[in-house]
Amino acid sequence: MTQEDINFTDFIASSIHDMKNSLNMQVSSLEKIAIQCRQRGDTPTYESLGLIIYEANRMNANLIQLLSLYKFGESIYPMDIAEQSVVDVIEEAVLQNRTMMEFKGIAISVDCDESCYWYVDRYLVTGILINALNNAYNYTGDKIRVVAKIEGAYLELRVEDNGQGYPQSMLQNGPVSAHKGINFSSGSTGLGFHFAARAASMHKNGSHQGSLTIENGGAYGGGCFVVRLP
């Protein structure tokens, strides 16, 4: 890689950071306008703004994922494994998605013991959960459930919905690959799965490594996004 290539990559990363900050400000403003519309009883505008806010939040999440992947690739991500309250991490992710869930009338429940603590990178795990919630938003009927429990040497985090589940073409035996390809027929880049798989795999403890799997079933019979962290 030439010096020019490196500088251009750095420039792109810096631009992504600026776009992310600008988008955050726009989302905040749109949410305030939406609240005003709801207070005035302007339901059609309120619901229309809900869709716009969802798409803006999804774009913001994509930018954060791209920036994180850039740092992974350059080996400059400041991995910070520390003991965390798992329920607090989940609540942080849910809080960032609560407004857009309310627009669509989606109920979110959390099943996690208050005494559950684990050593994780809080930023990465929050990002994984936000990605999973964004995905569930698209496919659920009206319910999403976030579950956390310790299974042997792993912390298992599950995001389940009551939609139709993942199509058979997406399901596979074993963990989701961090190198999932682009699907031109569906328009999916696989960015969210790529980020989540990479972020999970960066959690290591001895011979154990984090992983992401997707399946159907769970408490609601829909799609299940499952992350296991050592």
Asked which of 19-33, 137-151, 164-178 is least confident by mean pLDDT, the reply is 164-178
Kindly state whether residues 39 and 120 are assigned to the same domain.
no
* Whether residue 136 is found in the same domain as residue 41: no
CA dist 196 and 33 (Å) reads 32
Instruction: Give the separation between CA 176 and CA 197, rounded to whole angstroms.
Output: 7
Q: Residue with structure tokens 């798989």?
A: 197
Q: Let me know whether 68 and 89 are in one domain.
A: no
Q: Domain check: are 69 and 91 in the same one?
A: no
Give the CATH number of the domain where residue 184 resides: 3.30.565.10
| Strand (E) or helix (H) holding 119 | strand 117-121
**Cα(43)–Cα(137) distance, integer angstroms:** 20
User: Same structural domain for residues 134 and 171?
Assistant: yes
- Give mean pLDDT, residues 132-139: 90
pLDDT at 6: 54
Residues 93 and 191 in one domain: yes
Do 9 and 121 belong together in one domain? no
Question: Which stretch of 59-63, 151-155, 211-215 has the lowest confidence by average pLDDT?
Answer: 59-63
Tell me, what's the pLDDT at 47?
A: 82
pLDDT of residue 124: 96
Residue 195 sits in the same domain as residue 168: yes
Mean pLDDT in residue range 92-105: 87
pLDDT digits (tens, 9 = 90+) for 30-53: 889 988 998 998 888 888 888 888
Question: Domain limits at 8?
Answer: 3-73
Please state the φ and ψ torsions of residue 158, each to the nearest 5 degrees: -125, 135
Same domain, 95 and 54: no
| φ, ψ for residue 62, nearest 5 deg | -60, -40
Count: domains in the chain: 2
Q: Residue 36: helix, strand or coil by DSSP?
A: helix
Residues 126 and 58 in one domain: no
Q: Name the most confidently modeled range: 14-23, 60-69, 83-92.
A: 83-92
What b/e readout covers 5-33, taking b as 16+ CB neighbours within 10 angstroms?
Answer: eeeeeeeebeebeeebeebeeebeebbee
For residue 141, which of 193, 104, 113 has the smallest C-alpha distance?
Answer: 104
223/192 Cα distance (integer angstroms): 15
Do 133 and 173 sit in the same domain of this protein? Answer: yes
**CA dist., res. 196 & res. 154, Å (int):** 16
Are 111 and 143 in contact by the 8 Å Cβ rule? The answer is no
